[in-house]
């Protein structure tokens, strides 16, 4: 079996090493060769990721037989994206194994395939809850008077005069306007 390892963390202060070691150990126990390792440091909600894009290219070229990741949420959090990837894995004869969740989508394991679909739905549900909590927190902060966005710069009388001069045609180009406003 030609195995591909996929690891992902969300932030730069996290390391993919624990995931990689667990997956390499799994391959060694199974007697599989690791054809490639793909790693990303980016949110799982992002559809485009360098490592994932390279992994999908290898799937399409049929360079691997099985993809290993620690948990399903390392691969992605949105149901449509995960469903699309799993369909593509199936189309190209590639199995997905999530070692920490006992998910195995190979042809020999129909129960694993069922559990995987349930977990995909749960991952999407969890992501929706996180979004909902974030929006609620923003609403509470706004109600408390917290200001979001760039701070508003006060408009001086000099700025008003320069803009008026621009409107009257005394300043003809945007370049002249920018120079007059010192920006």
3-state helix, strand, coil in the chain (%, to 5): 50, 15, 35
Given a contact cutoff of 8 angstroms between Cβ atoms, the answer to whether 105 and 72 are in contact is: no
Compare 181 and 69 and report the one with higher pLDDT: 69
The three-state secondary structure class of 146 is coil
The tens digit of pLDDT for each residue in 110-148 reads 887 777 677 667 767 877 888 999 999 999 999 999 989
The tens digit of pLDDT for each residue in 51-107 reads 999 999 999 999 999 999 999 889 887 777 887 888 788 889 899 999 998 888 887
Compare 161 and 4 and report the one with higher pLDDT: 4
User: 3-7, 152-156, 162-166: which range is least confident on average?
Assistant: 152-156
The C-alpha atoms of residue 143 and residue 17 are separated, in whole angstroms, by 42
Residues carrying an active site annotation = 10
Q: Is the dihedral of CA 144, 148, 151, 152 positive or negative?
A: negative
For residue 78, give both structure tokens: 């949105």
pLDDT score at 21 = 96
What is the pTM assigned to this prediction?
0.63
Given a contact cutoff of 8 angstroms between Cβ atoms, the answer to whether 59 and 95 are in contact is: no
């Amino acid at each position: 079996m030609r195995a591909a390892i996929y690891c992902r963390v969300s932030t730069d202060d996290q390391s993919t090493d624990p995931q990689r070691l667990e997956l390499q150990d799994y391959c060694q126990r199974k007697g599989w060769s690791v054809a490639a390792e793909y790693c990303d440091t980016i949110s799982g909600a992002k559809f485009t990721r360098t490592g994932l894009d390279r992994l999908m290219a290898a799937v399409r070229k049929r360079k691997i037989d099985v993809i290993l990741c620690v948990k399903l949420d390392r691969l992605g959090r949105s149901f449509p994206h995960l469903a699309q990837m799993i369909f593509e894995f199936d189309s190209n004869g590639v199995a997905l194994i999530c070692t920490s969740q006992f998910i195995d989508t190979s042809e020999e394991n129909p129960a694993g395939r069922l559990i995987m679909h349930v977990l995909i739905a749960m991952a999407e549900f969890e992501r929706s809850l996180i979004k909902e909590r974030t929006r609620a927190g923003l609403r509470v902060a706004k109600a408390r008077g917290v200001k979001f966005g760039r701070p508003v710069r006060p408009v001086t009388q000099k700025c008003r005069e320069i803009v008026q001069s621009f409107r009257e045609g005394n300043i003809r180009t945007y370049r002249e306007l920018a120079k007059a406003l010192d920006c």
